[in-house]
Amino acid sequence: MGYPLYVGVHVSISGGVSNAPDRAYERGCTAFQIFTRNPRGWKYKDLGSDEAELFRNKVARYGYGNLAISHMPYLPNLSSPDERIYNLSLESFRNEVIRAGLLGIKYLVIHLGSHMGAGFEAGKKRLVKAIDQVISSVDNDVYILLENMAGQKNSMGSRFEDIAEIIDSLSFKDRIGVCFDTSHAFSAGYDLRSKDSVDETLREFDRVVGFKWLMVVHINDSKVDLGKGRDIHEHVGLGYIGEDGFRCILRHDVIRKHPLILETPVDERREDVGNIMKVWELAGVEPPEELVERWKAFLTSEKRSYAKGKKGGWG
């Protein structure tokens, strides 16, 4: 798929994971993200091979390729000091990597969890063990992308140094990458509101972690101010980072060449297409006519209100 920007939303898998590529296509996404199962529980059914094949065929037909991305469910905590939770988390994680492989998905975004007060070093040991174990035992091509966190108490990987240290400690690094979430970075204290602050934050990311690890970017604004340490997403441009901040983020050479995923559920102020169009606009890139046509068709269809009323946020 050759587009000047790869922008899309987190799409629902309601009715089956194979419905997701259609939803992405209808919304004029040039990249998209899914959960492969209900993200709010521990239980899940195995992925049917027909369902997986249908998903792969649609991804191929629409030309998404590696631009179909998966996000881990919310409950697993790969840094947990609690043996039971840790083992459950490890099993979920292993299963997600397998599922992503079956779906032909290249990138799986994971949260780094919470050490629950046991300290960063203790959490890191657990987390690194989990990633090493899964990468060395699941034989597929799925990359594990470590997502920077929002600075919540005891969270792992809110500072760029933490992410660098985690990567450094891994024995198996050939299927590792980083997902940069703008909202999380901002809540964790990295300013992104102006050209100077965006340049400085991204320079810092490059210096400490390295752009070579960056593979996906989550484009979310923040409902909380700089450094508040809380993870509350806002539609792009409508929060504390604001349109000026995103204009600079989206015009940054390194950021804009990666898949850009929006993770804010539809509400009365913005729906998916509105968010996607906003990214193209702030990036200063003329969208291809074919996408504009798809947006128009979607905005006049009944599907527009689909997913309205969904509670909570995505990833």
Q: Which residues bind Zn ion (CB under 5 A)?
A: 147, 181, 218, 315
Q: Are strands 260-262 and 214-218 parallel, antiparallel or unpaired?
A: parallel
Q: DSSP characters for 150-212?
A: ---TTBSS-SHHHHHHHHHH-S--TTEEEEEEHHHHHHTT---SSHHHHHHHHHHHHHHT-GG
Catalytic residue among 99, 126, 218, 270: 218
Q: Which of 264, 257, 167 is nearest to 209 (CA)?
A: 167
Active site residue 258: no
- Residue with smaller CB distance to Zn ion, 69 or 167: 69
Question: 56: helix, coil or strand?
Answer: helix
Q: Is 159 a catalytic residue?
A: no
In the complex with Zn ion, which residue's Cβ is closer, 159 or 218? 218
Q: 96, 162, 231, 271: which one is catalytic?
A: 231
Instruction: Collapse the DSSP code of 105 into the 3-class scheme (helix H, G, I; strand E, B; otherwise coil) and give the result.
Output: coil
Tell which residue, 101, 96, 98, 104, has the closest CA to residue 55.
104
Shortest Cβ 257–Zn ion spacing (Å): 18
233 flagged as catalytic: yes
Catalytic-residue membership of 115: no
Active site residue 184: yes
Minimum distance between the CB of residue 169 and Zn ion, rounded to whole angstroms? 21
Q: Considering 10, 99, 111, 270, which one is annotated as catalytic?
A: 111
Q: Note if 263 is an active site residue.
A: yes
Residue placing its CB nearer to Zn ion in the complex, 58 or 159: 159
In the bound complex, what is the minimum distance in angstroms from residue 159's beta carbon to Zn ion? Answer: 16
H-helix segments, the chain: 20-26, 49-62, 83-102, 120-137, 160-169, 182-187, 195-208, 242-250, 272-283, 289-299
The residue number whose beta carbon is nearest to Zn ion equals 315
Between 28 and 315, CB nearer to Zn ion: 315
Does residue 175 carry a catalytic annotation? no
User: Rounded to the nearest whole angstrom, what is the least distance from the CB of residue 26 to Zn ion in the complex?
Assistant: 23
Catalytic (active-site) positions: 40, 71, 74, 111, 147, 181, 184, 218, 231, 233, 263
